[in-house]
Amino acid sequence: MERPNYYAVLPASVRYDKQLRPAARLLYAEITALCNKSGYCSAGNAYFAELYDASIKTVQGWITQLVKGGYISVEVLRDDGGQVTGRRIWIAGNPALPLLKNEVTSPENRGDPHLNFKEYYNRKNITSNNNTPIVPKPEEPQTVEEVFALYAGEDAALCDALNDLAADRKDRREPMTVRAAQRLVTRLDKLTNDRLAKIAMLEQAILMGWKTVYPPKGDDRERPEAAVPHRREAREL
C-alpha cells in the first residue's frame, strides 16, 4: 500500500481535545498530510481502514468526531446522475496558519482556508527532496457501507437506517450491491430532502419487505404491495 511521504500537522486544539478518540487525532494528522498536493484529501474510508487495520464503520466514526469538533468538513461528490462518486475532506480552521509567512496570510488569502492550507505545504516544501509525493487517487465507494457513510455524513440515524435496509435484504437472500446502494441514495434524494422522511421510508421498506424505498402512504405515486415474509419471519409469526 502506497503511503504519502509528507509531514503531518497536529495542532494543540486537536491533540488535547478529550472529546476525540486517540485514533481520530491520528487520522486528523494523516488527513493534513494528504491535503498536501490539492489542498484537500480525497482518500476514502476504505483507504484509511486498510491503513489503520480498522473497519470502515470505525473510520467513519472517527471522521464524524472530527466533523462535529469543527476540525474538518466533508464534501460529497456526485456524478450527473446524482450518484455518489467520492468525497473531499477539507481541513477547517487552518491549523498551519501560525507557521505561515505574512504573504500567505494576506487579506486576499484569508477568505479561503483551503487555499491557505494548500499554500502552506506548497511554499514550505516540507516533503523529502529525494521522494516524489504520493497522493491516493480519488476513490469510488468500494462497499455498500461506504456508499451509505459518504451519503449520510455525520447523520448516524440515517446511516443506521440505510444499513438496516441492506441487512434486511441480506437476510432475505437478496444482498445489496454497491450499484444498488448508489441507486437507493439517489432515489431517496429524488423523493424528499427531509432526513426524517428518508428514515421513515427506509423503515417502511424494511417493514414491508421492499428492496427499495417508496413514497409514504397517501402519496399519489405508486407503491408496491408488501413482500411475502421470508422463512425466519414466518417462523416468528
Report the pLDDT averaged over residues 156-179: 90
What is the value of pTM for the model shown? Answer: 0.51
Q: Which residues pair with 74 in a beta bridge?
A: 89
Nearest CA among 46, 52, 1, 50 for reference residue 28: 52
pLDDT of residue 28: 94
DSSP SS3 for 48: helix
Split at pLDDT 50, 70, 90, the class of 212 is very high
Asked if residue 157 has pLDDT above 50, the reply is yes
| Helical axes 156-171 vs 195-208, angle rounded to 10° | 20
Nearest CA among 92, 115, 113 for reference residue 31: 92
Determine how many CB atoms are found less than 10 A away from the CB of residue 116. Answer: 20
Distances (CA, A) of 108 to 35, 102, 103: 21, 11, 9
Q: What percent of the chain has pLDDT over 70?
A: 69
Reported as a single tens digit per residue, the pLDDT across 6-60 is 778 888 889 899 899 999 999 999 999 888 878 889 888 888 988 888 888 899 8
DSSP SS3 for 89: strand
Asked if residue 190 has pLDDT above 60, the reply is yes
Dist. CA 65–CA 103, nearest whole Å? 33
Which residue has better confidence, 175 or 232?
175
Listed range (63-67, 75-79, 102-106, 180-184) with the worst mean pLDDT: 102-106
pLDDT of residue 135: 45
Which residue has better confidence, 79 or 128?
79
Q: Cell triple for residue 15? A: 491533540
Q: Cell triple for residue 40? A: 484537500
Report the pLDDT averaged over residues 80-95: 79
In the predicted model, what is the mean pLDDT of the chain? 75
* Contact in structure between 136 and 37 (CB atoms under 8 Å): no
Residue-range domains of the chain with CATH: 12-124 (1.10.10.10), 155-236 (no CATH)
pLDDT of residue 103: 33
pLDDT of residue 216: 75
Reported as a single tens digit per residue, the pLDDT across 105-122 is 333 333 444 444 445 444
